[in-house]
Structure 1
Amino acid sequence: MAVVMSMGGVLNVVDGIFVGHFIGSDALAAVSLAFPAAMVLSALTTLAGGGMSSLMARYLGAGDRVAAGRVFAEAHGLVLAISVGLVALWAVVGPALVDSMAASNPKLAGLAQDYLRIIILGAPAQLMLGVHADALRNEGRASLIAALSVLVNLFNIGANWLGIVVLGLGISGSALGTVAAQALGLALVVGVRGHTKGLLPLSVLRSQSWLGAWSQIVRLGLPLCLSFIGIAVVASIVILSLRSSAGPEYDALIAAYGVVTRLLGFSFMPQMAIALATQSIAGNNAGAGRNDRALATLRLAMGAAFLWCLSVMLVGVFAGTTLGSWFSDDPAVIAAVAEILRPVMLLYSSSGPVLVLALYFQALGQPGRTAALTLVKPWFLTPLLILTLSVGFGVSAIWLAFPMADASILMLAVMIGRHVLHPADAPDVDAEKGR
């Protein structure tokens, strides 16, 4: 799972380098404006795949393949409904919203619209790929997903190079390469399922209804989905705060913030992988009545996530200038990247263990605790702190909102999960299923 998620992060970093060096800082800023919408797409992918995973892992752990196949089919119907809604929403409000975020800069708005139009039209491939990848993960085929992920992401990097550098399609080349790679990935996972014994057969998509239990999938997937949308909300508030207070530095700061979001996206992927692996393993063992194994998984995963996040924190604090130079030749952008990263990364080491704990609760069917750990920071703490610090102390104080929010959510995690790691206080699975 770490390989799978990391390859997506590597792709975002490499694509940002292509955009920054071969198209320019305006295109890098345009992609930054598109970041909130891209996060919403990731959130919706998690809504369907994550909610399905919580149910599927427990059904498979209990040996109920019929119920697992039914949930798999229902997730497909949910994905199609979401895709139709996305296209309609973009047609109604998309262009006007992008123009507002671009501060009425027509060049910036045009670039962002070109990018997002292609990404949203290609959303069905992304959403369906997410469902199939999550299903394979819960069926114990993580190594297979890793191999396919490496192949698809290498194809994506090559396609982006072709579109941006060779064909000169600009920012549209980046979006087209991404959609083409997602379509290829979907074709590969469908082909694998159709020719691999031991997996849920594709025939369940014909024999089972696509319309039932959407509410149950949504209920379980919503906390993690909303946490991704919360990231988009935070990014939007940062952009709006910079627009109102950055003055002539706005373009450079937006481009730099876009670089930081890509770096944070890359660093987030391995910790998310650890959390998703925890979800699958803990869910299967909980379904089989092995609370001891579920708890051992949680301990190991929290330790691994802490070590990863600590390493990322040290790199971000001390190597910001070097990282900025990867993406741009503009000294103002490079300096801004380092200026943003230093405060943002101060307490980053706590974020991975908190995410792992949240998905452990989701695996046991406890969306309330998951919601508390994944939604309070992006929906309440960080936006409130950004707005308060921006108004009271100016642009440079905005970035202090991130470590302050990390400190607050760490205290909340200690309160919610303080008894979980003690064997005597391990949650009773049968009781949790009844909640």
Structure 2
Amino acid sequence: MKDLSQGSIVSHIAVMAPQIFVGMILMMLCGLIDLYFVAGLGDAAIAGVGAAGNVGFLINALTQILSVGAVSLISQAVGRKDRADANLIFNQSLGLSAAGALFTMVAGCMLARSYMRSVAVDEAVIEAGTTYLVWFVPALALQFVALVMGSALRGTGIVRPTVIVQAVTVIINMLLAPILISGWGTGLALGVAGAGLASTIAVAIGVAMMWIYFHRYEHYVAINSALWRPQLEQWKRILGIGLPAGGEFAIIFLNMAVIYFALRHFGAAAQAGFSIGSRLLGLIHMPGISIALAAGAIAGQNFGAGNGERVRRTFKTVLLLVTAVMIGFTMIAQWRPEFFLGGFTEDAATIAVGALFLRMVSLNNVAQGVNFVCSSMFQGLGNTRPVLLSSGARLLTNTLPLIWLSAMPGFRIEHAWYLSIATTTLQAGLSLWLLRLEFRKRLGPVLQ
């Protein structure tokens, strides 16, 4: 356990954020690896795997319910020096993760084709996406357990073991992807099914490694099957914080699904360009998200310790850091986005769509950074309902107009990106206002 209620805030961020960043980059690479090796199968395969991969946002919504609830409550318990409560929350979260994994397996296999038919009209895209999902769903199910264990460690100020396991997972995925997708060395090419299977095997090995780590090395929070029996009061605490945060990711899923829906009549190349571009933009966001996630654990421990002024200083420090980072990466995204897309496809139409997306939507980066920081601070304070409110506001102001615009005769792809810029900026303003209200309510007036 690492006490984040003492010492330099910047130093804590400097230690935690790079490790979180590496871990997130490694997770993002899994999706990019799939797209990279699937790209040789054509635009239909790229579009299918990209649209199917969007289901990951929906599963992330469910995993975040447990992950956010765990990291918030555990970090606050650490701040209070209440080890027993930290252990109880961790083990109750593990029990809930098993139920989430089972639900994902059943629902994913039953609804894969129905989902693909809702976001694509090309039969080749539908078939590729459905096949990929069937083999990828077990990996999504295992994420419940993996994220709960990683969140428990982050709540105690420890992130290195999670990063090491994620690195091993990505390496395994990188090795297996070309073998299973293209049949390198075996002559047995599984195509998009191989992409899903490679991820599933890699994640399964990662979960096994985390399980071994907790049994052998972790002592502050430990796996204790006697604490797995459902305790409704603890479930209420976890879900009370986690459900609104999970709703935020569900909204991301809905936003992405509506964009795929709006682009469906522009063909597989347009959906493929958006698939690649959105993943590259996610990669660009990773440094800012990493800093924000580190801030959540710091704010949680200090809030638990009753140090409200230090929570405020954490917010100000992190907001400045994230804004500076986002400005820098916006400049990178504006510089020849075609260069980055060229590594995934040679199709001119696909590159054109992806480049337009990166050049325009990267203008959101600073506003999106504000949203990341506010979301993490709400998690540290143990109240994520305002996050759901601001995300819901964006859902209404973005998706409904986009559905209407996509039905208009003169609809162009860039109309979707203009709308995204406007609604993300509005969300950032609302998030700042809601956080200011939360600070006044939970931390008291600003000290003069």
- Structure 1 length-normalised TM: 0.89
Per the alignment, residue 230 of structure 1 pairs with 251
Q: Which residue of 1 aligns with 2:22?
A: 3
Equivalent residue in structure 2 for 1:98, among 113, 116, 129: 116
Aligned to 2:337: 320
Task: Say if 2:180 and 2:195, in contact at 8 Å, map to a contact too.
Answer: yes
Indicate the residue corresponding to 1:65 in structure 2: 83
Question: Following superposition of structure 1 onto structure 2, how do residues 349-364 of structure 1 map, counting pairs within 5 Å?
Answer: 349-364=366-381
- Give matches, 1:41-52, under 5 Å: 41-52=59-70
Instruction: Determine if the alignment matches structure 1 residue 179 to structure 2 residue 197.
Output: no
Whole-Å separation in 1 of the counterparts to 2:227 and 2:119: 46
Deviations 1:3-62 (A, max 9, x none): 111221233233322221x32222101112213312111221111111121111111211
Q: d(CA) in 1 for partners of 2:284 and 2:417?
A: 18
Counterpart-to-counterpart distance in 2, 1:146 and 1:89: 29
CA distance in 1, matches of 2:227, 2:384: 30
Distance of 2:171 and 2:314 partners within structure 1: 31
Shift of 1:290: 1.8
Q: Determine if the alignment matches structure 1 residue 279 to structure 2 residue 299.
A: no
Contact 1:193 1:199 in 2 (8 A): no
Does 1:411 find its partner at 2:429?
yes
- Provide the C-alpha distance between the structure 1 equivalents of 2:120 and 2:369, rounded to a whole number of angstroms: 32
CA deviation map 1:98-134 (0-9, x unaligned): 234231x332222111111122233332110011111
2:249 is aligned with what amino acid?
A: F
Instruction: Tell me which residue corresponds to 1:209.
Output: 229
Which of 379, 384, 402 is residue 386 of structure 1 equivalent to?
Answer: 402
The aligned counterpart of 2:17 is: none
Match of 1:333 among 350, 364, 386: 350
Contact 1:9 1:267 in 2 (8 A): no
* Counterpart Cα distance in 1 of 2:113 and 2:231: 32
Q: What is the CA RMSD across the aligned residues, in angstroms?
A: 2.2
Query: Shift of residue 265 of structure 1?
Result: 2.4
Select which of 205, 208, 211 maps to 1:190.
211
Match of 1:373 among 386, 390, 415: 390
| Residue 19 (structure 1) aligned with residue 35 (structure 2) | no
After TM superposition, list the pairs within 5 Å mapping 1:77-92 onto structure 2.
77-92=95-110
Unaligned runs of 5+ in 1: none
Residue of structure 2 in register with 1:395 after alignment: 412
Distance 2:355 2:206 in 1: 35
Distance in 2 between the 1:418 and 1:70 partners?
32
C-alpha change, 1:382 and 1:37, in structure 2 (3 Å) is: same
Structure 1 residue 394, shift from structure 2 partner:
0.4
Which of 255, 262, 275 does residue 241 from structure 1 map onto? Answer: 262
Correspondence 1:132-143 to 2 at 5 A: 132-143=149-160
Alpha-carbon separation, structure 1, partners of 2:146 and 2:345? 32
Contact 1:310 / 1:348 at 8 angstroms: preserved in 2?
yes
Deviation, 1:351, is 0.7
Larger mean Cα displacement after TM superposition, 396-405 or 250-259? 396-405
Letter in 2 for 1:190: W
How many angstroms apart in 2 are the aligned matches of 1:154 and 1:255? 25
Determine the C-alpha separation between the residues in 2 that align with 1:283 and 1:120: 32
- Output one character per residue of 1:382-418: Cα deviation in whole Å (capped at 9) or x when no partner: 2123224434540231221110112211221343345
| Higher mean C-alpha deviation, range 254-263 or range 342-351 | 342-351
Letter in 2 for 1:37: V
State how many pairs are aligned: 419
| Cα gap change, 1:28 to 1:408, in 2 (>3 Å) | same
Is the 1:7–1:150 contact (alpha carbons within 8 Å) kept by the matching residues of 2? yes
Alpha carbons 2:52, 2:132 under 8 Å: kept: yes
1:53 and 1:197 map into 2 onto residues whose CA distance is: 16
Relative to structure 1, the CA distance from residue 298 to residue 25 in structure 2 (aligned partners, 3 Å threshold; closer, same or farther) is same
